Amino acid sequence: MASVRYGASRRGRRPRRQLNSRINVTPLVDVMLVLLIVFMIAAPLLNVGVLIELPKTDANSLPSKQEPITITVDAEGKIYLQETEISFDDLTPKLIALAQNGYDQRINIRGDTNGNYGPVMEVMASINAAGFTTIGLVTDAKPK
C-alpha cells in the first residue's frame, strides 16, 4: 500500500520560501538624512576658532595649497594659536614646533578691529624674528 504525504511537492520535498534579494533602502535613507541635518547644523560652526570682528577691506583672497597656522589677537590683547589661548612668551617655541615644512609655513594673523594695533605688531615682529617669512593678515570683505 502506498503512503500519502500531505503538503509535499512533486518531488517529495517540502516547498521552501524563496529568498528576498531586494535591498531595503529605508534605513540607509534615514541615516543619510540624519547625517545631512547634522552637517548642515555643524558647518557654520567650523569657522576658525576665536570670534573677533575683522577689519573690512577690498583685498582679494590669496590661494593656498595647505592649511595655514592661524594666530588671533582679540580686542583685549589675548593671543590664540589656532583655538587655544597662549602667552606671548610661548608663541615662538610653539610655532616652531607646529611648522611641519620648515619656515616656509604660512602664518595668518587675525586682529580684532576694536583692539589695539600694538599687540598685533608685537606678534608679527616676534614671528618674523623667529624666521617665518610668509605672514598674512586676515580681513573680511567689504559688503557691496
Three cell numbers written together for 39: 552637517
Looking at domain 56-141, its CATH architecture is 2-Layer Sandwich (3.30)
126 burial class (0-12, 13-18, 19+ CB within 10 angstroms)?
Answer: middle
pLDDT tens column, 9-55: 556 566 677 777 788 889 999 999 999 999 888 876 665 567 777 77
Between 53 and 7, the more confident residue is 53
Per-residue pLDDT, averaged over 130-138, amounts to 84
The residue extents of the domains of the chain are 56-141
Closest CA to 53 of 101, 4, 111: 111
pLDDT tens column, 61-88: 766 677 788 889 988 889 998 888 999 9
State how far the Cα of 44 lies from the Cα of 24, in Å rounded to an integer. 33
